Chain A
């Protein structure tokens, strides 16, 4: 495969490659690469909490205990980011990010966060049935969509509705209001224990007959998921989302239909689906190159991988996420983080264009994140002050060594500059090679993949 296609492939199913990485990978196919990849789970260090009988602690200390435990969500956040930046399992990592967006779930409890993220990690390129079922049984999802309040006497439809609307079928697609109510009944009694273990509360579960999609029976939640998966509309909805995320924000109906057939026939095999995309000629067509806008996480991860960007102060990474509006484990609502053009407006664009030069020259970024509503503004401002040096370190030697002999315009934009911009760059005089790189990645095209 020629370089250009390679760069495109791993921009989409990864976070970009360096010249040396391209050479290393060029001997194997996408399918082989994917089979070589491993599932990496995230494991928090919770040793300081183990064996503590928090129930016997006085109220104040018990509060402290839980506060400290909650703080661990930040560790979880940083561990995930670290994996995206350093892992060799790049396809897996990209798929994890996608599924966390698809199953948007805001998580405060680090234990539940760990369980949730590992469910996604284990199934990200596995079978969609396992994924959706395990996510539905996760403590994080049960809390987030009020499954605890869903009981026989008072069904709560929150989870049932989002299951149909956001996770499997798409809004008002092949299900009715009545189906949602009946599906909610099938999921009654779904709970989790303190440490996140899934249980069905027998007294809260509705054992009566439900009529779902015109079929009547004493369905439970798992059977409902199978009823949903029987519908080809479900495969189509997932393929459409994957297409928008990995191929082009405007779907091509013909391509999505082709993918739907592959996905449905393979009984929801995610691996087969993405291999099919990577092996399609249309995936590499001109209109699909640089078609998508990087999310802030894709942006910083890609940059970090090229320039070996590190930061000893974990707060800088968290503040970056807050400033650019994409906090891991904290999507703003059930619909997930922003997508595509939503990331770009007059506020974010100048900042995003300046960011590479600010990081790579260790310059100051004069900006503070807003305090949260529950923060004292004075404490908050101190905490959120971003106007100090960001403290990111970078490695130019690594960059130039990795990309020896590469045309940087290929590396950064896949050669896709407008004629005017190309003419401008060609006649522009760069004082140093560093300046050349920084100026190139300050172009709007660097915001695209």
Chain B
């Protein structure tokens, strides 16, 4: 069965009804080949504005060193990727992935008329609308509206749900552990209430809406708790916030969850002061955690159908500030990790530091073009319903 047919069937089977179809309980009904059609996306958000220039370093560029006397990373420190660009020295594990042909680095990603507020810029990335527009739904949420039928189709490993996963019709599910939500609802009294509601005629107004949401939530919670069968100790993951979250994602995928999108945040990149100290540590954590994730999925055979996107709401000013840090900037680099990259490596040239936009890197690639490609080429779906602008393929994904 083709993936799109599968989705269509799922929608017909599940939209509007309150039951998770039997065949979604696990993926065992599909052979590996079919399973590979059911693709996953993991989004890792570097919150606070990661300084892309100290992540992917233009080590041959004098402008970089002139503008950053305190915080630049010297040529002999960087891990060279080509004759111009090198990695932050704390990203050795990420470098291994790069060498194995599993990484595409896209430079100068951003959007027109950029906004330097964390909150506004993050909203723009989440909603994928023009920077002077507002939307209450996120790009992944709108994908869900069209192509998914359960709230657990998209999971955020957090206590609160990001705007990206808010749809017009349905929202993704935020959870820290797969059984926590289930425990909340497993109280005898709530079970009785849910059971009573399941047998009741539910009306179309808000009263009915509350009960329907409750029943659906209970079913998702039950599904996740029951399907979460792979529970290993994940010792190869760093015991950090990010490491633990990605270890969970790995378990969920290897358990055969029907979830299509996992969303994870890595916080603390707002490096106005003493940037090197904080950013180096965060990038090391990122590098080790992502590498552990890739390895665990490679071992289980799930890497074939998993794509990992890493982004931040903006890059930082090219020139350092007076406190060994950097202030909010504009365009930034972005990573795609997986086995289905057309030309892994560095996709486009590093930023032109001689042509800055008010002291910031100007954008060359619209981030919505990346989203567009993910929807069209990775999920093999129609992006026009989700992104209001249309784009041509960047040719990154195969």
Do A and B interact? yes
Q: Is the CB of A447 within 8 A of B217?
A: no
Q: Is the CB of A344 within 8 A of B210?
A: yes
Given A293-B206, A341-B209, A345-B151; A443-B158 close (CB under 8 Å): no
Residues in B with CB closer than 8 Å to A353 are: 190, 214
Residues in A with CB closer than 8 Å to B213 are: 344-346, 349
Q: Is the CB of B207 within 8 A of A346?
A: no
- The answer, among A340, A370, A373, for a CB contact under 8 Å with B48, is A373
Q: Is the CB of A346 within 8 A of B197?
A: no
| Residues B185-239 near A (CB distance < 8 A) | 185, 189-190, 192-193, 196-197, 199-201, 203, 205-207, 209-211, 213-214, 216-217, 220
Tell me, yes or no, whether A126 is within 8 Å of chain B by CB. no
Residues in A with CB closer than 8 Å to B209 are: 341, 344
- Rounded to whole Å, the gap between the CB of A335 and the closest CB of chain B is 7
Q: Is the CB of B210 within 8 A of A448?
A: yes
Q: Is the CB of B196 within 8 A of A345?
A: no
- Rounded to whole Å, the gap between the CB of B117 and the closest CB of chain A is 9
- Rounded to whole Å, the gap between the CB of B154 and the closest CB of chain A is 11
- Rounded to whole Å, the gap between the CB of A308 and the closest CB of chain B is 25
The CA of A376 and the CA of B161, in the complex, are separated in Å by: 20
Residues in A with CB closer than 8 Å to B158 are: 370
Q: Is the CB of A290 within 8 A of B119?
A: no
Tell me, yes or no, whether A445 is within 8 Å of chain B by CB. yes
Given A333-B134, A344-B213, A424-B196; A369-B160 close (CB under 8 Å): yes
Tell me, yes or no, whether B265 is within 8 Å of chain A by CB. yes
Q: Is the CB of A350 within 8 A of B206?
A: no
Q: Is the CB of B160 within 8 A of A349?
A: no
| Residues B108-157 near A (CB distance < 8 A) | 118-119, 122-123, 134, 136, 151
Tell me, yes or no, whether A281 is within 8 Å of chain B by CB. no
Q: Is the CB of A290 within 8 A of B206?
A: yes
- Rounded to whole Å, the gap between the CB of A182 and the closest CB of chain B is 19
Residues in B with CB closer than 8 Å to A208 are: none
- The answer, among A341, A372, A416, A442, for a CB contact under 8 Å with B189, is A442
Given A335-B134, A345-B171; A421-B206 close (CB under 8 Å): no
The CA of A200 and the CA of B48, in the complex, are separated in Å by: 38
- Rounded to whole Å, the gap between the CB of A415 and the closest CB of chain B is 13
| Residues A309-348 near B (CB distance < 8 A) | 323, 325, 333-335, 338, 340-342, 344-347
Given A345-B213, A370-B160; A377-B220 close (CB under 8 Å): no
Tell me, yes or no, whether A249 is within 8 Å of chain B by CB. yes
Given A344-B210, A349-B213; A373-B47 close (CB under 8 Å): yes
- Rounded to whole Å, the gap between the CB of B173 and the closest CB of chain A is 5
Tell me, yes or no, whether A4 is within 8 Å of chain B by CB. no
- Rounded to whole Å, the gap between the CB of A418 and the closest CB of chain B is 6
Closest to B200 in A: A420
Among B170, B199, B209, which residue has the most Cβ atoms of chain A within 10 A? B209
The CA of A368 and the CA of B122, in the complex, are separated in Å by: 21
Tell me, yes or no, whether A371 is within 8 Å of chain B by CB. yes
A-B contact count (CB 8 A): 125
Tell me, yes or no, whether B49 is within 8 Å of chain A by CB. yes
- The answer, among A293, A350, A375, for a CB contact under 8 Å with B184, is A350
The CA of A355 and the CA of B225, in the complex, are separated in Å by: 23
Given A345-B161, A349-B213, A380-B267; A373-B206 close (CB under 8 Å): no
The CA of A370 and the CA of B49, in the complex, are separated in Å by: 16
Among A341, A349, A445, which residue has the most Cβ atoms of chain B within 10 A? A349
Residues in A with CB closer than 8 Å to B181 are: 346, 350
Residues in B with CB closer than 8 Å to A373 are: 47-49, 118-119, 122, 267, 270, 313
Tell me, yes or no, whether A287 is within 8 Å of chain B by CB. yes
Tell me, yes or no, whether B268 is within 8 Å of chain A by CB. yes
- Rounded to whole Å, the gap between the CB of A314 and the closest CB of chain B is 21
Closest to B211 in A: A444
Tell me, yes or no, whether A285 is within 8 Å of chain B by CB. no
Residues in B with CB closer than 8 Å to A419 are: 200
The CA of A338 and the CA of B163, in the complex, are separated in Å by: 12
Given A370-B160, A442-B189; A291-B48 close (CB under 8 Å): no
The CA of A349 and the CA of B206, in the complex, are separated in Å by: 13
Residues in A with CB closer than 8 Å to B197 are: 420-421
Residues in B with CB closer than 8 Å to A287 are: 205
Closest to A428 in B: B192
The CA of A375 and the CA of B180, in the complex, are separated in Å by: 26
Residues in B with CB closer than 8 Å to A346 are: 151, 171, 173, 181, 213, 216-217, 220
The CA of A333 and the CA of B265, in the complex, are separated in Å by: 22
The CA of A143 and the CA of B199, in the complex, are separated in Å by: 53
Q: Is the CB of B207 within 8 A of A448?
A: yes
Q: Is the CB of A420 within 8 A of B196?
A: yes
Tell me, yes or no, whether A367 is within 8 Å of chain B by CB. yes
Tell me, yes or no, whether B78 is within 8 Å of chain A by CB. no
- Rounded to whole Å, the gap between the CB of A348 and the closest CB of chain B is 9
Q: Is the CB of A334 within 8 A of B193?
A: no
* Residue-wise interface mask of A (365-399) relative to B, using a CB-CB cutoff of 8 A (1 in contact, 0 not): 01111111111111010000000000000000000
Tell me, yes or no, whether B241 is within 8 Å of chain A by CB. yes
Tell me, yes or no, whether B174 is within 8 Å of chain A by CB. yes
Closest to A438 in B: B189
Tell me, yes or no, whether A267 is within 8 Å of chain B by CB. no
* Residue-wise interface mask of A (406-440) relative to B, using a CB-CB cutoff of 8 A (1 in contact, 0 not): 00000000001011110010001000000000010
Among B171, B200, B210, which residue has the most Cβ atoms of chain A within 10 A? B210
Given A346-B213, A350-B185, A442-B189; A292-B206 close (CB under 8 Å): yes
Tell me, yes or no, whether A148 is within 8 Å of chain B by CB. no
Given A354-B184, A370-B160, A380-B267; A291-B136 close (CB under 8 Å): no
- The answer, among B49, B160, B207, B220, for a CB contact under 8 Å with A445, is B207
The CA of A104 and the CA of B134, in the complex, are separated in Å by: 14
The CA of A146 and the CA of B216, in the complex, are separated in Å by: 43
Q: Is the CB of B196 within 8 A of A377?
A: no
The CA of A367 and the CA of B47, in the complex, are separated in Å by: 20
Residues in B with CB closer than 8 Å to A372 are: 118
Q: Is the CB of B207 within 8 A of A347?
A: no
- Rounded to whole Å, the gap between the CB of B250 and the closest CB of chain A is 22
- Rounded to whole Å, the gap between the CB of B255 and the closest CB of chain A is 20
The CA of A32 and the CA of B216, in the complex, are separated in Å by: 46
The CA of A334 and the CA of B171, in the complex, are separated in Å by: 22
Closest to B118 in A: A373
- Rounded to whole Å, the gap between the CB of A60 and the closest CB of chain B is 12
The CA of A342 and the CA of B159, in the complex, are separated in Å by: 18
Residues in A with CB closer than 8 Å to B210 are: 293, 344, 349, 444-445, 447-448
- Rounded to whole Å, the gap between the CB of A344 and the closest CB of chain B is 6
Q: Is the CB of B184 within 8 A of A290?
A: no
- Rounded to whole Å, the gap between the CB of A388 and the closest CB of chain B is 15
The CA of A444 and the CA of B207, in the complex, are separated in Å by: 7
Q: Is the CB of B173 within 8 A of A376?
A: no
Q: Is the CB of B206 within 8 A of A334?
A: no
Closest to A338 in B: B136
| 30 A-B pairs whose Cβ atoms sit less than 8 Å apart in the complex | A290-B207, A323-B159, A335-B134, A341-B209, A344-B209, A344-B213, A345-B171, A346-B171, A346-B216, A346-B217, A347-B173, A349-B210, A349-B217, A350-B184, A350-B185, A351-B184, A354-B184, A370-B160, A371-B267, A373-B118, A373-B270, A374-B118, A376-B268, A376-B278, A378-B268, A419-B200, A420-B200, A444-B207, A445-B210, A448-B207
Q: A346-B217, A419-B200 are in contact. List 14 more A-B contacts (CB 8 A).
A: A323-B160, A341-B209, A344-B210, A345-B171, A346-B220, A350-B181, A368-B159, A373-B270, A375-B267, A416-B207, A418-B207, A444-B193, A445-B210, A447-B210
User: Across chains A and B, which 10 residue pairs bring their CB atoms closest together, nearest first?
Assistant: A373-B118, A420-B200, A444-B210, A377-B267, A346-B217, A345-B171, A424-B196, A346-B151, A377-B268, A350-B184
